[in-house]
Amino acid sequence: MKQQLENIKAQAIEMVAEAQDRAELDAARVKFLGKKGELTAILKQMGKLTPEERPVMGQLANEVRAYIETLITEATEKIKKIEMEKALEKETIDVTIPGKPNTIGHKHPLSIVLDEVKDIFFGMGFNIATGPEVEWDYYNFEALNIPKDHPARDTQDTFYITENMLLRTQTSPMQIRVMEKEQPPIRIIAPGRVFRSDAVDATHSPLFHQIEGLVVDKGITMGDLKGCLETFAKQLYGENTKIRLRPHHFPFTEPSCEIDVSCFRCGGKGCPMCKGEGWIEILGGGMVHPKVLKTGGIDPEVYSGFAFGMGLERLVMFRFNIDDMRLLYENDVRFLSQF
């Protein structure tokens, strides 16, 4: 048995020395030390020895086991070190090679102008109001003095979900929603996405953004509307900007007007941007119709107010001299990187 143990030790030394990787070392561990390994098979024969021989052979067997375990452990650490050196050599990073530049994004032109508009109205004491894009017909039309048979609906081709639910065509429903929940004084703007079934072209899109404004308090007049919008125009387009109010008709305001600004390219002299007129239309507004105030739960005999609505895309196109609305939605980095 002693000779068998010496043979196992010699075989283990040879097998471990020839091992090229950890898999071959594991194979050596199983061959000599496993449950069915050669050393285990020798130990099962201990019962055949005399009482005097058992302690001697047991000690020798334990020494051989410990020697083989140490041998395999040291060989494993050596192979790990070699593998690590090979990996480091293979994965060496040349720190002198120029790195790849990271492209850093920035605000979309729509966001740039919207943030400017928000800052202007925040400075005049306005708050932001938001509401659902999927809206009830009542809030989108009826509460704004546009009944089901009103011809104004024809100009707002609409995406209906059910007979009484639709994708909002304007952010004007926020007038009613705010008045239902708040009492005057009210001073809000309501920016957001709106939807109309327009064909896509240079100036139209089925999805665009509108900014609705509403002020309700005692003694509000058209003079307040003019002053508010003139302040807005000067801060957005420059101190030399002038505004012009033209009579118009909107069902939810009375009287109503469209508001033009003096062309910020030619200063009102006439150019291709303003089509030679010297003025550019940017929004519509007027005094809130008494019926709309009443529908919102506000007494028109006590309070009055003004409202206005402007298209964000229109403001952006004028702000950056863009002649095609589609450029704002095509996500062409060559275009967006200019802003």
Write out pLDDT tens, residues 211-221.
999 999 999 99
Q: Is cis: bond before 272, omega within 30 of 0?
A: no
Residues 165 and 280 grouped into a single domain: yes
The confidence score (pLDDT) of residue 80 equals: 85
Q: Which of 289, 231, 300 is nearest to 259 (CA)?
A: 231
- The alpha helices in the chain, defined as continuous H runs, are 2-18, 22-33, 38-43, 53-90, 109-123, 137-140, 173-181, 222-237, 290-295, 312-320, 333-336
Contact 304, 220 (CB under 8 A): yes
Q: Are residues 72 and 145 in the same domain?
A: no
Residue at which a domain ends, from 59, 90, 121:
90
Here the CATH number for the domain that contains residue 282 is: 3.30.930.10
Q: What are the DSSP calls for 283-337, one per residue?
A: EEEEEEPHHHHHHTT--TTT-EEEEEEEEHHHHHHHHHT---GGGGTS--HHHHT
Predicted local confidence at residue 156, as pLDDT: 64
Which range marks the domain in which residue 198 is found?
Answer: 109-336
Residue 100: inside a domain, yes or no? no
Is residue 95 one of the residues assigned to a domain? no
The whole-angstrom separation of Cα 111 and Cα 261 is 22
**278 and 315 both lie in a single domain:** yes
Residues 325 and 258 in one domain: yes
Could you identify the residue written with the tokens 């000779």? 3
Tokens of residue 14, six digits: 């040879």
226-259 burial, b at 16+ Cβ within 10 Å, e below that, comes to bebbbebbbbbbeeebbbbbeeeebbbbeebbbb
Q: For residue 145, what are the CA distances in angstroms to 159, 176, 254?
A: 20, 11, 11
21/157 same-domain check: no
Task: Provide the token pair at 222.
Answer: 């058209």
In a 3-state reduction of DSSP, which class is residue 243? strand
Last-in-domain residue among 60, 90, 120: 90
Question: Is residue 42 within 8 Å of residue 4, measured between CB atoms?
Answer: yes
Pair (9, 152) in one structural domain: no
The number of residues in the chain equals 339
Last residue of a domain, one of 90, 117, 144: 90
Low-confidence spans in the chain with pLDDT less than 50 = none
Domain for residue 99, yes or no? no
What are 45's two structure tokens? 């024969």
Q: Are residues 86 and 124 in the same domain?
A: no
Is 271 domain-assigned?
yes
Quick one: 82 and 209 in the same domain? no
* The pLDDT of residue 306: 96
Same domain, 192 and 54: no
Q: What is the pLDDT of residue 46?
A: 66
* 104 domain residue, yes or no: no
Per-residue pLDDT, 48: 67
Residue 188 has phi, psi (to 5 degrees) of: -135, 155
Residue 200 lies in a domain: yes
59 φ/ψ angles, rounded to the nearest 5 degrees: -65, -40
Q: Which residue has the tokens 């021989």?
A: 53
Q: What is the pLDDT of residue 112?
A: 95
Q: Is residue 206 part of a domain?
A: yes
**Distance between CA atoms of residues 334 and 320, nearest Å:** 15
Q: What's the pLDDT score for residue 70?
A: 85
Q: What is the spatial distance between Cα 266 and Cα 270, in angstroms, rounded to a whole number?
A: 6
Number of domains the chain contains:
2
Same domain, 291 and 149: yes
Residue 131 placed within a domain: yes
Same domain, yes or no: 63 and 146? no
Domain co-membership, 23 together with 167:
no
What's residue 49's pLDDT? 66
Specify the residue for token string 């665009």.
208
